[in-house]
Structure 1
């Protein structure tokens, strides 16, 4: 899969506030959560969109299988 690469600064703008898109990164891939009802306004419980959530996932009540529902739209440079 040949995906476009984005910087962490570009990812940070897709936080549901600065830009309407709601993106998060996990294990080097970027996922678009804009349509997820669990990411309203760029916030999911205590997590904010526009950042890499790889290190935060162990604290989540779910596994990384949750990302299987979403198609990666890019990767981190």
Structure 2
């Protein structure tokens, strides 16, 4: 699986490029085709970033990531 930097992830925010990606626990997921992530926004969350810490406030569990397509790993710096 390819590794991407936080800067590369940030470009996939639904505004700068057509891809819409999010990261969770070091894995990057493509949510480009999700109706819940139109224009790179999902409620008060924005695409192009690591959402691991934000899951605590979500009304769902981490199981939602099992349905998403993993496209890479987030680079550890």
Q: Same fold (TM over 0.5)?
A: yes
What corresponds to 1:40 in structure 2? 38
Q: How does 1:1-77 map to 2 (within 5 A)?
A: 3-77=1-75
- TM-score, normalised by the number of residues in structure 2: 0.96
Q: Structure 1 regions of 5+ residues with no counterpart?
A: none
Write out the 4+ residue segments of structure 1 that deviate beyond 2 Å after TM superposition.
none
- TM-score, normalised by the number of residues in structure 1: 0.96
Give the aligned CA root-mean-square deviation in angstroms: 0.5
Q: Structure 2 regions of 5+ residues with no counterpart?
A: none
Aligned length: 75
